[in-house]
Amino acid sequence: MKLRIHDTLASLDAGAWNALAGTDYPFLRHEFLSTLERTQSIGGESGWNLQLITLEDTNGLAAAAPGWIKTHSYGEFVFDFAWAQAYHQHGLSYYPKLILAAPFTPATGPRLLCRNDLAREATLDKLIDAIEQTALDQGCSSVHALFPTAQDQTVFAKRGWLARKDCQFHWSNRGWRDFEDYLGSFTSEKRKKARRERRRVAEAGIRFETVWGHEASELQALSAWQLHRITFLRRGNEPYLNAQSFLELCRSMGDSLMFKLALLGDEIVACAVFFVGRDTLYGRYWGAAEDFHSLHFETCYHQGIEFCIERGLARFEPGTQGEHKVSRGFEPTDTASAHRIFDERFARAIDDYLRRERVAVDRYAANVREHIPFRLAPDTAADSSPDTAPAAS
């Protein structure tokens, strides 16, 4: 097989890439990545420099990994700042590093891509060889696979990569007929709280519209961008995606990009940005122009759950952090990352840390699980990542 390294999406055939990566997980679609590249949300001075690793045979693309050379750790959601500081304290450089990820996206998905007609284990062994060699050739301290599927995580583990565990809060559809049927599974106290939240938003005169990317006007798209920018600015940062990225994603990803617009009269006062796939809804961004009681919970969570029930979507992944999601029906769910640290001294130290961290994560998830709102424990556990790529930031 022939190894090729792509530093631009323009050098990669869109159809061939999508055939290999699939289109169920929107954040590796060629349309998504190339839009971010064209609008300079990645590349250039962003610190996200494409290093897409592919293996080719006589039939075309055989295997690939979505690689990025990083000169910082922002936009990854798997936090290794302390590792970088430790390197610095010992007079070593942690950056650059190579990551396998979807940019700015804390959502589980494929990181090792392999054509279906090939022997997966043998092909991916060659791919990981190529990944590690590419990192060494680029002077990287390490390689990090962020939010891989359980299937990919098993492959990394067999190659001796270090395993890291974290916890998000995901919603699972158990066949509810509508939102009221869903609330019927709650305890009385939690059910009253959810209804009260929804009522407060309605009593404020706020209504909601669902607008797909291909339907959105320029005004709606720019309003959504400006509102989500407010959320970032309140935390002291500019958003990862610029306004042009939002406009272009409406055109290139209009079948997957969805806005939930909160309207007061004809004015957009809040917006949640979602991506939708075959059976998963991904919550990505949110922003509001004013502070309305319960509007965040309604826009980002209740509206998303209701959409999943109406469309028969199996899962709703609203993003990182937030124990406040638990009382609204989101359950602790394992996420993972895999790490190849080339310096054996640091590898041993980090491995020891990760062993202790996994115990803490399990303890945290168990404690949080005691507060889920359901009257009975759900039939289906939600404490592990899907075995294959989520069909859908």
Q: Please give the torsion angle defined by the CA atoms of residues 195, 201, 203 and 206, in that order, rounded to the nearest 10 degrees.
A: -140
Same domain, 100 and 194: no
Same domain, 91 and 147: yes
Percent of the chain with pLDDT over 70: 96
Same domain, 160 and 248: no
Q: How far apart are CA 180 and CA 137, in angstroms?
A: 57
Amino acid making up residue 305 = I
**What strands lie across the sheet with 257-264, from one edge to the other?**
48-50, 67-70, 97-100, 142-146, 331-341, 162-172, 315-317, 280-288, 267-276, 257-264, 206-212
Structural element, H or E, at residue 233 = helix 218-234
CATH of the domain at 154: 3.40.630.30
Output DSSP code: residue 302. I
Same domain, 87 and 231: no
Cβ-in-10-Å burial (0-12, 13-18, 19+) of 137 comes to exposed
Please name which of 241, 245, 220 lies closest in space to residue 229, comparing C-alpha atoms.
241
Same domain, 265 and 309: yes
- According to the model, what pLDDT value does residue 320 have? 86
Amino acid making up residue 132 = E
Is residue 388, in this structure, part of any structural domain at all? no
Residue range(s) defining the domain that contains residue 268 = 174-313
Same domain, 76 and 37: yes
Structural element, H or E, at residue 144 = strand 142-146
Is residue 391, in this structure, part of any structural domain at all? no
Same domain, 34 and 99: yes
- According to the model, what pLDDT value does residue 390 have? 34
Please give the tally of structural domains in the chain.
2
Is residue 104, in this structure, part of any structural domain at all? yes
Residue linked to tokens 């961004």: 285
Structural element, H or E, at residue 202 = helix 188-203
First-residue to last-residue Cα distance in the chain = 33
Is residue 379, in this structure, part of any structural domain at all? no
Same domain, 73 and 182: no
Residue linked to tokens 């970032």: 232
> 297 near 197, Cβ under 8 Å?
yes
pLDDT tens, 165-205? 999 999 999 999 999 999 999 999 999 999 999 999 999 99
**Nearest 5°: phi and psi at 253?**
-125, 30
**Burial readout 300-339 (b: 16 or more C-beta within 10 A, e: otherwise):** bbbbbbbbbbeeebbbbbbbeeeeebbbbbbbbbbbbbbb
pLDDT tens, 41-77? 999 889 999 999 999 999 999 999 999 999 999 999 9
User: In the predicted model, is pLDDT for residue 349 greater than 70?
Assistant: yes
Same domain, 14 and 132: yes
pLDDT tens, 121-165? 999 999 999 999 999 999 999 999 999 999 999 999 999 999 999
> 162 near 341, Cβ under 8 Å?
yes
Q: How far apart are CA 241 and CA 39, in angstroms?
A: 9
> Quick one: pLDDT band at residue 377, thresholds 50, 70, 90?
low
> Quick one: pLDDT band at residue 380, thresholds 50, 70, 90?
very low
pLDDT tens, 10-29? 999 999 999 999 999 999 99
- pTM (predicted TM-score): 0.92
Is residue 225, in this structure, part of any structural domain at all? yes
Is residue 325, in this structure, part of any structural domain at all? no
Is residue 319, in this structure, part of any structural domain at all? no
